[in-house]
């Protein structure tokens, strides 16, 4: 077996490849993308009276389209009642950061990072009480988020669009991991 010098041996580590625990209530739905010589199509969901067939109990009340400028960070959003379902087109690349701030949750305090888009087609269900924010990882192009919510946006006393600072979980949460 090969031996490393003292400096390398002191800093040597093996990456942990075990699956990470998912935040309670967060769901990921892998979507099928249909390709042909003319392009592609992804079905984001089938609705029966507003209920998403792949996300039982989720009733879509509003659909939104958002763009982010290169390297922009939008964080952190937090809802008491609203569930979000996010989709980032496979042609775009966004870092999604989720943090469970629900008192008493089995995953309270857990922070999870995942890349959306980047060749994949998936939905991410974000329950109330899970803070969420994102960063466009593209350096020269905007990226798109399409998202469904079960509470219609309101600017009056019914507003459920809360915020906590972008660096609440540490500014490093937005850095590209190296290693």
Quick: pLDDT tens for 5-61.
899 889 888 878 888 889 999 999 999 888 889 888 899 999 999 899 999 999 999
Query: How far apart (Å, rounded) are the C-alpha atoms in residues 18 and 4?
Result: 25
Structure token digits, residue 42:
């992804």
Q: How far is C-alpha 46 from the geometric centre of its chain's CA atoms?
A: 21
Query: How far apart (Å, rounded) are the C-alpha atoms in residues 73 and 176?
Result: 13
Residues 123-163: tens digit of each pLDDT: 999 999 999 999 999 999 999 999 999 999 988 888 898 99
Query: How far apart (Å, rounded) are the C-alpha atoms in residues 83 and 151?
Result: 8
Query: How far apart (Å, rounded) are the C-alpha atoms in residues 105 and 36?
Result: 44
User: Nearest to residue 95, comparing CAs of 178, 173, 17, 16?
Assistant: 173
Q: What domains can be seen in the chain, in order of their start residue?
A: 21-152 (2.60.120.10)
Q: Determine the pLDDT at residue 179.
A: 66
With cut-offs at 50, 70 and 90, classify the pLDDT of residue 117: very high
3-state SS string over 20-73?
CCCCCCCEEEECCEEEECCEEEECCCCEECCEECCCCCCECCEEEEEEECCCCE
Query: How far apart (Å, rounded) are the C-alpha atoms in residues 149 and 153?
Result: 9
How much is the pTM? 0.88
Q: Determine the pLDDT at residue 67.
A: 96
Q: Are strands 143-149 and 84-87 parallel, antiparallel or unpaired?
A: antiparallel
CB atoms within 10 A of CB 57: 9
User: Nearest to residue 161, comparing CAs of 86, 105, 100, 81?
Assistant: 81
With cut-offs at 50, 70 and 90, classify the pLDDT of residue 121: very high
Query: How far apart (Å, rounded) are the C-alpha atoms in residues 111 and 107?
Result: 9
User: Nearest to residue 87, comparing CAs of 27, 130, 146, 149?
Assistant: 146
């Amino acid at each position: 077996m090969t031996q490393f010098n003292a400096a390398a041996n002191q800093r040597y580590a093996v990456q942990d490849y075990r699956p990470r625990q998912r935040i309670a209530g967060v769901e990921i739905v892998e979507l099928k993308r249909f390709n042909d010589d003319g392009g592609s199509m992804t079905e984001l969901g089938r609705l029966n009276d507003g209920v998403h067939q792949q996300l039982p109990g989720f009733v879509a009340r509003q659909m939104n389209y958002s763009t982010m400028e290169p390297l922009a960070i939008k964080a952190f959003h937090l809802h008491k009642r609203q569930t979000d379902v996010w989709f980032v087109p496979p042609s775009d690349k966004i870092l999604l950061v989720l943090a469970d701030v629900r008192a008493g949750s089995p995953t309270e305090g857990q922070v999870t990072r995942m890349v959306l888009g980047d060749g994949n087609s998936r939905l991410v269900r974000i329950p109330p009480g899970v803070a969420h924010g994102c960063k466009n990882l593209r350096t020269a192009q905007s990226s798109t988020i399409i998202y469904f919510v079960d509470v219609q946006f309101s600017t009056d006393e019914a507003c459920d669009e809360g915020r906590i600072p972008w660096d609440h979980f540490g500014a490093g949460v937005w850095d590209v991991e190296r290693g």
